[in-house]
Structure 1
Amino acid sequence: MTSTVGRVPLLLVSISSAGGPDSLRVAVWRKLRSLGALYLQQSVCLLPARDPVERQVRRLLARVHTDGGTGQVLRIEIADPAEQAALVEQFNAARDSEYAEVLERTPAMLQEIATETARGRATYAEVEESEADLERFRSWLAKISDRDYFGAPGRAAAEAAVAECAEALAAFEAAALNAEAREIAPISNDVPAR
């Protein structure tokens, strides 16, 4: 009677920004997108009915109403296990698509580190640049993981790719430190003669 994930309560969210400022439509879209909403049609989407998600949706609705738009949120359950499983697959497919973007972009960072290492340019400036790239990947991955409500299968590969970048950066940083240490002349303990 239940699917492999069990019966999952969902939020059915319907929002219209008509009557509000032009910026409201973009703000609504961005917020729902950041929460991992699954759109059924324009202005109607589903989200898992989890407390943090529901609080954010209620805040969004309050803003929509304050700014002149309309909307409502209903808590629903899908009775048919096959329909629920299909919805979970759609949520997972959306997250897997996002994880795939991470996988597409991490090789560029690894290649950059390899190129700079081959050129003998393991420097502090290059390390800082790569650290910023790694932090962007980690932040991006965390945001995707936060909206990965049903354990999309692509998560493990994306996490592994970001971990590989972290390992490559650690080795690159060690090389930069060694290169810098070789450039610094050793300090002599000899006392100059008077």
Structure 2
Amino acid sequence: MVKKYKASTGVDEFYYGALDETEVAIITGSPERIEFLQTLNIEMPQEPVRAYGDNKTAEIAVSNGNVTVTAAFHRLPEEDKAVLFGLEKTETGLYSYGSTDTPPYVACIFAKTYQDGSKEWVGLPKGLFMRPTINSQTKADGVEFSTEETSAEFMDREVSGFTEEKSVVFGRDEKGSTAQRDALFQAIFGKAYPSTATTTTTTTV
């Protein structure tokens, strides 16, 4: 097997889905995409724990910390905020934040892209997104685009194909291949990768 050493150069295709609390399916509905993902960082801390005896280390174990995700988007649409943060919406279209907001458990998938056309798909099986900070600033001499950043905490969940519960799942496709992507969507969402059929009409003159 040939090892790959090229680093990723971008991120793309962020999808999420609210987990089905009835457990009839993995997620309710179909995976929903949020476009224009800018950055996504996953922190998976580990800490060594030492046991001592006879004035030396007898054993070392590894303590796994919480999986924390920080994501920045060009903009988060209100429809996605309502789902991710559990916001209430009025009949007139107003959204609100309140002390009783209860965000649902969600699953997420995104792609790390490479210059050679390959993609590494990353799946997050179960987590909660936290409300973002609202930032605004005055317009000065130039134009500066704002960024909407949010954080989330993820936990282990049963994922088909693995004997133990998992909190992050990876799969890599070479250019032109979608096998790992399709397998990850089924494992994380229980749904096929969303595809849009394009119909071409030819007019004869």
Bigger Rg, which one: 1
Report if TM-score (shorter chain) is over 0.5: no
Higher helix share: 1
Higher strand share: 2
Name the TM tier (shorter chain).
Answer: under 0.3
Q: Could you say which structure has the greater relative contact order, defined with CA pairs below 8 angstroms and 6 or more residues apart?
A: 1
